[in-house]
Structure 1
Amino acid sequence: MDELRRTDLNLLLTLHALLAEKHVTRAALRLHKSQPAVSHALAQLRTRFDDPLLVRQGGHMVLTARAQALVRPLEDALTGLNELLSAPDFDPSLTRGRFRLALSDYAARIVLPPLVRHVRREAPGLDLAISQAGREAMLAQLTDGELDLALGVFPHPPEDIEVRELFREEFVSLADRAALPAKGGLSLEEWLERPHIMVAMRPDAQDEIETALAARGLRRRLAVTLPHWSAAVDLLAGTDLVLTVAGRAVGPMRRHRTLRKFTPPLDLPRFAYQQAWHVRRADDPAHRWLREAIAGCVRPS
């Protein structure tokens, strides 16, 4: 116990953050400390372990061999201490806080109404701040600590981002009935000849549909590109436009009596709609409660 008596346990928490983030600023965000304070702690840790721990290589910081050897035993030790000291139960009705979520208006319509009702009923002290961003921006904001949770499609998340599938989704095409054959949909040739609407945060976005077309050496004309899922459907009536989107974005067809839904004449596989968070938030009881609440607010398909 002599070594433990001579060690400030707060330094071990800082070491844990530094080993996970490999970045002083992000470790400071994780710890809710200033960057100079974390830099000072790193200097102390380097003296304590007689090792630089983090070194610059190729424009970024990497762990030394000594630091890599510390990762697992430090994780095990801190996990054991956390379990020893943590409260036996988490009570959402007593918790207070604010969570920052990023999601599109597509997810807002599907997830937010039941989620807000659930939070107001079970955890009225929790506040939700909603923003909208593209996929890359969401991942960057999670890493930088600017977001707590993001909802979207994350096929190749970074190693420090955890994801959980909420439901499976599939693409559907829609068009004005008057602009379609009497029965059925469109052939691939006819579909490609039509002007299309694309829902994306940026006009130059490469979504799953564009990726599938490019793989076959095909292109479509994007007559309208906009970031609003709900508005996109309303643009179709009285035009020759075609919209291909995730099925849940359309909602009940009784709301769109002049439109017809049909299967896209292109192989567009089902995809996973997910929630994503940084590993630093994985064991936070309130954050875990919110993730479970979100998962319970959507119906898998």
Structure 2
Amino acid sequence: MVGITVDNRLRRLDLNLLVTLDALLSELNVTRAALRLHYSQPSVSVQLAKLRDIFDDPLLLPGPRGMRPTQRAEQLREPLREALDALERAVAPARPFDPLAAAHTWKLAATDYAESTIVLPALQGLRTSAPGSRLAVVEMAPPRFEKQAEQGDIDIAFHTTIEAPEGLRRRILFAERYVLIGRAGHPRLKRRPTLAQFCKLEHVIVSPDGGGFRGVTDEVLGEAGLSRRVTLSVPHFLFLIAAVAQTDLVAMAPYRLVRGNAALTIVEAPVSVRGYEMCMLWHERAHRDPAHQWLREHIVASVG
């Protein structure tokens, strides 16, 4: 039909007609095309008539050995096969993820605490299991990481459960608690200090926002009408550990971050400070991706 627009032609097509056309162009024979498609010969003939009407072209003409394609049909053959191949790939079931053959680049958003307690324990296993993949650890930006996950800029973020945004999927990785730390051989930490002794020690705290001299420990002490001497405020836990290891400063620190550190003395604090849960966060868009599922399970197994 002359004058049919591309849009109207597409509206009149359905996938079955395109599959039939592909079979006809391959077999150049209605009977063989019907056998290939598991259709009856009359059904294929009816579909061929619809295709001729839609494309305003005979498409297949009688020949000495079956049928021969028109010039229009020859023009359709390759793009049609490419389109159907792409569609088959698109609707095919997701292939199982093979980490040994993968060449992914994963992006994880983490603080220095999460880098040490989550990413680092998972790192060697990632290099062994998925040697062709790469890992980028990016700065944790809580106000932005929900949008970053939605846009695919990050794959996973690590954050405390209580502060995690509701719009992301989550999985709790572990519960963390606070302990009192000082340098190895610290004269005031040969045994657990009393509450009064604890308050007289010089403390260092992490202030993520920068420059703060109060934390959760101070809130607990304040409820009891007490206070401690906080003489150093730093932005990162790793600097806190270095400062404690090289001075007589002490700190309340997450246990997983300091356990096994021979440069430190670790004791139970005389004040009970509520700990927190660390969780893994990701967007719904990646939830069913086999590679993403594998990465999540690897991280869970690594921090167990």
> Structure 2 length normalisation: TM-score?
0.60
Aligned to 1:159, the other structure's residue is in SS state: coil
Asked if 1:247 corresponds to 2:255, the answer is: yes
Match for residue 282 of structure 1 among 287, 292, 304? 287
Deviation at 1:123, TM superposition (A): 2.2
User: Contact between 1:179 and 1:239, CA under 8 Å: does it hold in 2?
Assistant: no
Please show how residues 134-283 of structure 1 align to structure 2 within 5 Å. Answer: 135-136=142-143, 138-139=145-146, 141-142=148-149, 145-176=152-183, 177-180=185-188, 183-203=190-210, 208-213=216-221, 219-237=227-245, 239-253=247-261, 255-256=262-263, 259-283=264-288
Gaps of at least 5 residues in structure 1 are 8-81
CA shift for structure 1 position 266: 1.7
Q: CA deviation at 1:247?
A: 0.7
Contact kept? 1:161, 1:279, Cα under 8 Å = yes
Among 130, 134, 149, which residue is 1:127 paired with? 134
Q: Displacement of 1:272 after TM fit?
A: 1.7
Distance 2:144 2:217 in 1: 20
Answer whether contact 2:122 2:303 (CA < 8 A) is retained.
no
Contact 1:197 1:225 in 2 (8 A): yes
Distance in 2 of aligned mates of 1:208 and 1:138 = 24
Residue matched to 2:65:
none
Check conservation: 1:142, 1:277, Cα contact below 8 A: yes
Q: Percent identity?
A: 28
Rounded to whole Å, the distance in 2 between the matches of 1:189 and 1:243 is: 15
| Distance in 2, Cα, partners of 1:98 & 1:211 | 42
- In the other structure, the counterpart of 1:43 is none
1:164 partner letter:
R
Please tell me the root mean square deviation across aligned C-alpha atoms, in Å. 3.3
Structure 1: which amino acid aligns with 2:272? Answer: D
Q: 1:291 corresponds to which residue?
A: 296
Contact 1:102 1:151 in 2 (8 A): yes
Instruction: Find the aligned partners of 2:187 and 2:11 in 1 and give their Cα distance.
Output: 78
| Secondary structure in structure 1 of the residue aligned to 2:127 | helix
Aligned length: 217
* Counterparts in 2 of 1:138 and 1:201: CA distance versus 1, 3 Å: farther
In structure 2, do the counterparts of structure 1 residues 208 and 153 end up closer, same or farther at CA, with 3 Å as the change threshold?
farther
* Cα offset, 1:291, TM superposition: 0.7
Q: Deviations over 1:135-166 (max 9, x none)?
A: 44545643564322112323142221122111
* Alignment partners' CA distance in 2, 1:216 and 1:137: 37
